[in-house]
Amino acid sequence: MKPSKDDLKNYLKCEGIHILDLMKKALEKQREKTITYSRNVFIPVTRLCRNRCGYCTFRRDKTETPILAPDDIMRRLKKAESYGCREALFTFGEAADQLEPVKNQLEKLGYDTIVEYIHHLCQETLKNTLLLPHTNMGILKFKDLKILKEVNASMGLMLETSSPRLMKTIAHKESPGKDPKLRIRTIKDAGKLKIPFTTGLLIGIGETIEERAESLLELRRIQDKYGHIQEIIIQNFRSKPGIPMENHPEPTLLEMIKTVAASKILFPDVSIQVPPNLNRETSEMFLLAGADDWGGVSPLS
């Protein structure tokens, strides 16, 4: 029997010895005993983005090069291949081709949209290297997902939260693409197209325990209908100097442990990842709470 919303809330609120009981329950649900990872290279095609998330360190207002050129990207891919990488993670700011610098650069390269350009890059990756493309792309229309499906081994989009309330907070008030309805639609469309998919939650951006539980249940409902979610990332907010949320408190280790364990109990059929680069001193703890994947680990980027 799948846990109810009340069950999840109780998991997320438990204290003391009950946390150990929760971790034990999560490990009992874990089907695979092998901890997996993907040796990859990170390719930020453009860091320009229409969203201004309060916690983001990826976005740039200006860059000397609006988008990475094909030759530059191929050099990175070839170097990654020489290091034994097998995944090329292509990412770009959401709706970047609506911004003039990116739009102009795409025109010079002969492309009308960023999706056309990403399709070309993924195609060249498959032709000229042993790497498998994975595109992390922000919200996309069904037709664009269908185009990129042709040249991607898998794709990804973080749900982050299913709560529309956060659209009025410092986290998402300047980020139209973080509307949960739009992100849920994209994840569902990927399911309709049977695209192997990575998604997940961003923990500690102002959501309540109830909203966190509801976000997990939303992903469970999608998975029950489409079955395409292969991995769920439980990512903790980290404060960085200069971001709007630099003074916002980070989630505690115990909060993260409880969320990871609750996720594994709800998703025994899906890999649970906690980004090791954000948790260098505590990452092993999450393995004891049901995490079974480290995601992309790069020798280069």
Q: What is the pLDDT of residues 188-227, one digit of tens each?
A: 999 999 999 999 999 999 999 999 999 999 999 999 999 9
Residues of the chain with pLDDT under 50: none
Q: How far apart are CA 80 and CA 73, in angstroms?
A: 10
What pLDDT is attached to residue 285?
A: 96
Largest CA distance in the chain: 61
What pLDDT is attached to residue 269?
A: 94
Domains of the chain: 1-30+157-294 (3.20.20.70), 35-153 (3.20.20.70)
Inter-residue contact 216 to 263 (CB < 8 Å): yes
